[in-house]
């Protein structure tokens, strides 16, 4: 009864214009922009604490690269509702396109943009070709496309270098300053990730997200309301694929050598695991999941013989006890506390 009265007072305040916030969706009530700035500033100083040598700097770079590709998968799956097994092939496409273009047409930034465009076009082609398939059959179709692309890359020696790989790699530069160490490239990757997180927040806080959610969850009903569900999902899937291409470009120019062995098909499952562990309902879920997947093997190194068992147990524990992932532990803790108080 008390909750009902409180709710009615909130409605009255909202109708009178004195308090517009109580009825706002959670994403509008949160502090997404200050949080992003705080996370960015904290991450800027992370290399001073956890870096300092080639090995640990590379771990930090890997965490950022995987964060970008996982964020792209987050757009495709969590926002667009489209599960894809072609993550590794889109990632590889971004890498090879970026390397090929940068060698011939003007360096890293031209290659980076080309990788984004190529990966986005690949995502658009898959989505348009398989638009009529259900979620399950769409995932299977993307699995086939991903496998086919990897075969093409293996045999297209002029483009990918085949089994010999590519060692002539253009280094990124910013305002004429060459980022010739992986420590310096960390800050470039961090800025790219922050920009993509900002784009994600902007989408979530826009009216387009309401239309996208309606289209994703109730496509036929949304169509009768004048929306174009397939168009909205297509745009989100293309943007997510473009992010995967951007991560492929960052990976390629961070490495000293790129070969086909760099693109293990298990990467697609690894990225899925990152999003599940971090949380499918939080924009920071992919980042948290990427950090966990990169650093957990390092933490368990002293338990090498039991590493796989401990790793699998932790994954199952998080998935079962915290369905919302690590990012959702706060909500689960609140529910547990509320239940304890009620008893």
* Overall average pLDDT of the 193-203 stretch: 96
Domains with residue ranges and CATH for the chain: 1-26 (no CATH), 31-306 (1.10.3470)
pLDDT in tens, 97-142: 999 999 988 889 999 999 999 999 999 999 999 998 988 999 999 9
Q: Distances in Å between the alpha carbon of 37 and those of 43, 184, 190, 302?
A: 10, 20, 12, 36
* Overall average pLDDT of the 302-312 stretch: 78
Instruction: Classify strands 173-174 and 177-178 as parallel, antiparallel or unpaired.
Output: antiparallel
What pLDDT does residue 343 have?
Answer: 65
Model confidence at 16, pLDDT cuts 50, 70, 90, reads: very low
DSSP state, residue 172 = P
**pLDDT over threshold 50, residue 8:** no
What pLDDT does residue 281 have?
Answer: 86
Q: Which of 193, 183, 236 is nearest to 69 (CA)?
A: 193
Task: Decide which of 192 and 264 is more confident.
Answer: 192
**pLDDT over threshold 50, residue 10:** no
Residues of the chain with pLDDT > 70, as a percent, come to 90
**pLDDT over threshold 60, residue 29:** no
Query: What values do phi and psi take at 339, rounded to 5?
Result: -65, -40
Torsion angle of C-alpha atoms 331, 337, 341, 343, degrees rounded to 10: 100
pTM of the model: 0.88
* Residue with tokens 């169509």, as numbered in its chain: 223
* Overall average pLDDT of the 53-61 stretch: 93
What pLDDT does residue 19 have?
Answer: 43
pLDDT in tens, 84-93: 999 999 999 9
179 vs 66: CA distance, rounded Å:
20
Q: Which residues contact 176 (CB under 8 A, 6 or more apart)?
A: none
Contact status, residue 74 vs residue 281, Cβ threshold 8 Å: no
71 vs 65: CA distance, rounded Å:
10
What pLDDT does residue 317 have?
Answer: 81
């Amino acid at each position: 009864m008390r909750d009902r009265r409180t709710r009615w007072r909130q409605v009255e305040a909202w109708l009178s214009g004195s308090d517009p916030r109580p009825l706002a969706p959670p994403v509008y009530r949160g502090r997404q922009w200050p949080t992003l700035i705080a996370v960015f500033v904290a991450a800027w100083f992370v290399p001073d604490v956890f870096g300092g040598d080639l090995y640990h700097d590379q771990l930090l770079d890997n965490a950022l690269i995987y964060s970008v590709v996982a964020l792209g998968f987050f757009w495709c799956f969590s926002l667009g509702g489209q599960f894809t097994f072609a993550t590794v092939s889109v990632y590889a496409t971004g890498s090879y396109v970026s390397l090929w273009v940068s060698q011939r047409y003007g360096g890293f930034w031209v290659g980076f943009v080309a990788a984004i465009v190529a990966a986005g076009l690949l995502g658009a082609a898959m989505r348009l070709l398989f638009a009529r398939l259900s979620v399950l059959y769409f995932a299977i179709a993307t699995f086939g496309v991903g496998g086919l692309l990897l075969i093409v890359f293996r045999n297209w020696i002029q483009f990918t270098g085949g089994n010999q790989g590519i060692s002539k790699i253009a280094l990124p530069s910013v305002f004429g300053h060459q980022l010739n160490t992986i420590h310096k490239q960390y800050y470039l990757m961090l800025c790219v990730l922050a920009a993509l997180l900002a784009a994600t927040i902007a989408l979530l806080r826009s009216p387009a997200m309401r239309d996208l959610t309606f289209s994703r969850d109730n496509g036929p009903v949304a169509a009768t309301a004048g929306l174009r569900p397939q168009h909205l999902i297509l745009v989100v899937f293309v943007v997510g694929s473009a992010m995967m291409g951007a991560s492929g470009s960052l990976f390629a120019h961070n490495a000293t050598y790129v070969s086909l062995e760099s693109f293990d098909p298990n990467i697609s499952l690894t990225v899925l695991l990152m999003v599940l562990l971090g949380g499918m309902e939080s924009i920071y879920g992919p980042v948290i999941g990427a950090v966990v997947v990169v650093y957990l093997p390092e933490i368990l190194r002293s338990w090498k013989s039991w590493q796989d068992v401990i790793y699998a147990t932790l994954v199952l524990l998080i998935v079962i006890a915290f369905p919302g992932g690590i990012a959702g532990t706060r909500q689960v803790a609140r529910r547990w506390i509320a239940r304890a108080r009620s008893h």
